[in-house]
Amino acid sequence: MMKKITGLESIILLLYLSKKNKMDGIRGLTRLEKLLFLLEKERHFSIEGYHFEADRFGPLEMKVYDDLETLEQMGFITKQSAETFDTIEYKDIQFHDSKEYDIKIKPEKYLLTLKGQILAKKIFNSLTKSEREAFNEIILKFNTLTLTEILRYIYTKFEEFARNSQIKNQILNSNFGTIKINNLEEE
């Protein structure tokens, strides 16, 4: 069993490993939230204070928003413009009446500051080898996928978290082809 870890530590570690694996941060709040969800569900981490619920875009934990704001205010993370990734990743999803749902797709990515990198290294070194591997696996498996592919994976594997999704049918019925994730193949 993995140890309990805070949401703040989890976010810092995911960002740390995205940098360590030569990725350019984590693109978008939704992606980061889904990576945290997958850390809990795929690798059985218990993130203190997080209780994901089925929401209109899949698993949701409102505390992620607060934790990101806290980390940014403390100077551990920063948000930067991520050019046009949102238009690419969301191009096949038709939002019906986006004003009703107040959908705001901001092209941003999350990165660690130097202060955040120092803290992240300390947290990372305090983990066991299997805990470090768990975080690394989530980043390597999922941070390179499009957001649509991540959602499709979650909606297929964790159906109970897709039950309230406003975009479920578009994600599952779209023609995105085959998603390959470490010997796992879904048609």
Q: Is the pLDDT of residue 11 over 90?
A: yes
Q: Give the integer Cα–Cα distance in Å for 70 and 8.
A: 8
Helix or strand run (H / E) with residue 58 = strand 58-60
What is the pTM assigned to this prediction? 0.82
User: Which tokens hold the place of 55?
Assistant: 């929401």
Domain range enclosing 117: 4-186
Q: What pLDDT is recorded for position 91?
A: 44
Whole-number Cα distances in Å, 37 to 2, 61, 97, 152: 15, 9, 27, 14
69-125 pLDDT per residue, tens: 999 999 999 998 866 444 334 444 444 444 344 444 556 899 999 999 999 999 999
Q: What pLDDT is recorded for position 4?
A: 80
Q: Is the pLDDT of residue 38 over 70?
A: yes
The domain total for the chain is 1
Neighbour count for residue 172 (Cβ, 10 Å):
15
Tell me the pLDDT of the chain averaged across its residues: 82
